[in-house]
Amino acid sequence: MPVIDIHTHVFPDDVARAAMPTMEENAGVRAAFDGTIGGLRASMRVSGIDVSVLQPVATRPSQVRSINDWVASCVAEDIVAFGSIHPDFDDSASELARLRSLGMRGVKLHPEFQACSPTDERMKPIYEAVLANDLIVLFHAGLDIAIDTLRGTPSALADVARTYPGMRMILAHMGGFRLWDDVERHIIGLPVYLDTSYSLGHMPPERFIELVRAHGTDRVLFGTDAPWANQALEVAAVRGLGLPDEDLALIMWRNAERLLGLPTLV
């Protein structure tokens, strides 16, 4: 069965060498590989993953263009890239149009690392440009293991989904890391996608299956958050849930293939 990992992170080799030890210390997590594109590809080979999607985060407005240029250079048959934007970047509309021209499928937003609630007025030009350029937006959702704030709550993300009903949204970590009761209350049933990243192992498998069933397997995407999770172990964990093959195929690749507009993998 093909596998598409909707949620991965890599950095230029020199940045990874310098930054990964600090990020590991801040998060209290040992990375599964070295944070480079080469490390990701080696992980994919071991894990049986056909396509990984890069999800970069600009923590400062000055990083936006250089990050987007670099991730665009990584695109290949086995690598799809989302771009990054920052709430305080001075021309979101132009940059998101540029992402589209570079073949980007979407953009990643991180309410905690970018210090901005999803419902903040600063986000309005970004959402309008996402819609204008037919991009997908993937949100970090819920708590973050490396930072104490909580802005990307399920209720705030639900407000965004209702305010911008045409915007294709992916909510990472099954809609809100460690806030899954709130996910059930606010998110389940909305026309948004959930990704599985960094969720199994942090909630009982039975609870995971409940959320998948309640939301619908056609709206769940396999993701890992690699290198902060081990791709091989995450593939095995989802396959080990005992889901029917049809549901498993939707989660592991069919939904992502359709959403991203990729050539068919089988």
CATH number of the domain at 179, please: 3.20.20.140
In this prediction, residue 264 carries a pLDDT of 86
User: pLDDT tier at 21 (50, 70, 90 boundaries)?
Assistant: very high
Question: pLDDT digit string (tens) for 236-251?
Answer: 999 999 999 999 999 9
Q: Does the residue 115 lie in any domain?
A: yes
Q: Is 91 helix (H, G, I), strand (E, B) or coil?
A: coil
Q: Does the residue 242 lie in any domain?
A: yes
Q: Are 111 and 151 a contacting pair, CB within 8 Å?
A: yes
Overall domain count for the chain: 1
Q: Alpha carbon of 14 to those of 26, 34, 201: distances in Å? A: 19, 11, 31
**126 token code pair:** 């970004």
What lies within 8 Å, CB to CB, of 11 at 6+ separation is 19, 20, 35, 36
Question: pLDDT digit string (tens) for 33-49?
Answer: 999 999 999 999 999 99
Task: Give the percent of the chain with pLDDT over 70.
Answer: 100
Question: pLDDT digit string (tens) for 108-142?
Answer: 999 999 999 999 999 999 999 999 999 999 999 99
Q: Does the residue 38 lie in any domain?
A: no
9: nearest Cα among 61, 98, 73, 71: 71
pTM, full prediction: 0.97
> What is the residue range of 235's domain?
55-222+230-259
Q: Does the residue 82 lie in any domain?
A: yes
Q: Does the residue 27 lie in any domain?
A: no
Q: Are 10 and 44 a contacting pair, CB within 8 Å?
A: no
- E strand or H helix at 98, and its extent? helix 92-101
28 forms beta bridges with none
Q: Does the residue 130 lie in any domain?
A: yes
Q: Does the residue 29 lie in any domain?
A: no
Question: pLDDT digit string (tens) for 169-224?
Answer: 999 999 999 999 999 999 999 999 999 999 999 999 999 999 999 999 999 999 99
Q: Are 92 and 126 a contacting pair, CB within 8 Å?
A: yes
Q: Does the residue 26 lie in any domain?
A: no
